[in-house]
Structure 1
C-alpha cells in the first residue's frame, strides 16, 4: 500500500516509482543531518537499502561503474530522507547547493564523475533548475562498511 504524498517533490518521487526510506541510522558518532541558518548539511549517506548495502567493494573491481552510479542515486535518496527529517517538507528546498561524492575506487578506475552523476542527475530530475549544484567527485581507497559510494549534500531551504 502506498502512502499519500505530502509534497510536490514526494509526488515526483512517486512518479519515478520511488519513496523516501526511513533515515539511515548512523554507523558512528554523528547526526544524519544538521540545520544551520537556512541550510541543511547531511552526513555522508551510504547506499543502504533496508539497512543493507546492495554491493560492497571497489568500483572498477568488484562493483561496476553502472552499479555504483545506481548506488549514488540511492545515496541521494537517503540524503533526502535525512533532509526531510530536519525540515519537514521537501518542497521547502530552494536549491541543492553542493554534492560531494566519494567513490571507493580500484587504483586504475578514473570514472568517479560518472558515478556521482547518479546523484546529480537524480537531483536534476526531482528539482529541475534548483537541483543544479556545485560538486566534487573523489576517489578513495575505502569507505565505511566497504561501501562503493558515499554522498553528502548541502541544501538551502525556506
Structure 2
C-alpha cells in the first residue's frame, strides 16, 4: 500500500472512479510536471446528492461536505493521469465555485471543505493558493465545483 493510500485508508476515504465528462473535455491534463483538472462537481456514484443554490436550497454546511466530495473527484482525475497520488509534491492551486443565492457571501467557508481534505491527505504539501467564487449557476444545478492544479514528480 502506498503512503497516500495508507493515509486515505486512515481517514476512511475511498477515491471514487473518475467521473465521465459531461462535455467535450477530459477530466485532467498533464503539462510538464503539473496536472490541471477540469472542474469537478460532487458526483457520488454518478449522481448529484443535492442541487440548488447555497444559502437557499442547500445549507453552507452541506455545501462544505459537497466541496470535499468534489475535491476527492478531482484527486481521482489527477491519479488517473499520473498513476499514483504518491507522486504529488504540492497542491498548487484550488479554484472553487459556489452556486450562490444572491445574498450568500460565505463562499470561502464552503470551499474550506475542499481545502481541509487536501490538507488532511497531503499535510503541508496540501496547502495551496485558492480562489472561492460565487456564481449564479453551475452545470446540472450543482451547488459547488472544484478544480485543481497539482505538481508532481
Q: TM-score higher than 0.5 here?
A: yes
Does 2:131 correspond to 1:131? no
Instruction: State the partner residue of 1:92.
Output: 87
| Residues in 1 aligned to 2:68 and 2:92: alpha-carbon distance in whole angstroms | 17
Does 2:29 correspond to 1:34? yes
| Residues in 2 aligned to 1:145 and 1:110: alpha-carbon distance in whole angstroms | 22
Instruction: State the partner residue of 1:110.
Output: 105
Say which is worse superposed, 7-16 or 82-91, in terms of deviation: 7-16
Query: Of 4, 10, 19, which residue of structure 2 is paired with 1:9?
Result: 4
Instruction: State the partner residue of 2:53.
Output: 58
Measure how far apart 1:13 and its partner are.
1.1
Instruction: State the partner residue of 1:143.
Output: 138
Instruction: State the partner residue of 2:77.
Output: 82
SS in 2 for 1:142: coil
TM-score by length of 2: 0.99
Query: Of 145, 150, 155, which residue of structure 1 is paired with 2:150?
Result: 155
Measure how far apart 1:11 and its partner are.
1.4
* 1:34-54 superposed Cα distances (whole Å, 9 cap, x missing partner): 000000000000000000001
Instruction: State the partner residue of 2:17.
Output: 22
Q: Which segments of structure 1 move beyond 6 Å, counting only runs of 4 or more?
A: none
Measure how far apart 1:7 and its partner are.
1.8
Alignment RMSD: 0.6
- Structure 1: unaligned runs, 5 residues or longer: 1-5
Number of residue equivalences: 153
SS in 2 for 1:41: strand
| Residues in 1 aligned to 2:91 and 2:122: alpha-carbon distance in whole angstroms | 8
Measure how far apart 1:12 and its partner are.
1.0
- Structure 2: unaligned runs, 5 residues or longer: none
TM-score by length of 1: 0.96
Instruction: State the partner residue of 1:3.
Output: none
| Residues in 1 aligned to 2:5 and 2:102: alpha-carbon distance in whole angstroms | 38
